[in-house]
Structure 1
Amino acid sequence: MKTVDFELDREFIELNQLLKLAGICDSGGAGKQLVAEGLVTVDGAPESRKTAKIRVGQVVVCEGLRIRVKAV
C-alpha cells in the first residue's frame, strides 16, 4: 500500500476535502461518495461521516492509499 504524508496547516480538515487534496478523487463531492460507499477508514475503523474532522496524527486509508496527517 502506498503511503503519503499530508501536511495540515490548521486545526482540522474535513474528510471529503482531504481525499480531494490527497489526489484520491477530483472533487469534494466525489470524496463524499467514496465515504458513502464505505471505502474509507480512519485510524483503522470504517468512517461514515463525509465531513468528519481529520486532525494531525490520524491515518486515513482509501483506494489503496494510506494518508498520514502531519503538522506543518
Structure 2
Amino acid sequence: MQELKIDTDFIKLGQALKLAAIVTSGVEAKFMIQEEQVMVNDEVDARRGRKLYEGDVVSVEGYESFKIVK
C-alpha cells in the first residue's frame, strides 16, 4: 500500500485521486467516483468532495490502494 502525504488537515477525494496520479483531471475523477469505482475505508463513496483525513485508505479498481498520512 502506498502512502499519500498531505500537509493539511484533510484532502478532498477528487484531489487525492489527482495527487496519487490515478486521474489527470477533476472530470476524470468525477466519473470514476460516480461509477462507484472508488472505495474509502472499504465502503463505496460517490462524493467527490468527501474529506479524507490521516489514516483513511482509498482503493480504486485496477490501482494500488493508498493511505492518507501527514
Same fold by TM-score greater than 0.5: yes
Letter aligned with residue 46 of structure 1: V
Letter aligned with residue 50 of structure 1: R
What percentage of residue pairs aligned between the two structures are identical? 32
Q: Which structure 2 segments of 5+ residues have no match? A: none
Q: Which structure 1 segments of 5+ residues have no match? A: none
The alpha carbon displacement at 1:51 in A equals: 1.0
Structure that is richer in strand per residue: 1
| Residue-pair matches, total | 69
- Secondary structure of the equivalent of 2:65? strand
Render the CA deviation track for 1:38-72: whole Å, top value 9, x for unaligned: 0000000000111100111100001332011011x
2:57 aligns with 59
Letter aligned with residue 65 of structure 1: E
1:69 aligns with 68
Moved segments of 4+, more than 4 Å: none
Letter aligned with residue 33 of structure 2: V
* Partner Cα distance (1:11, 1:26) in 2: 23
What root-mean-square deviation, in Å, do the aligned CA atoms of Structure 1 and Structure 2 show? Answer: 0.9
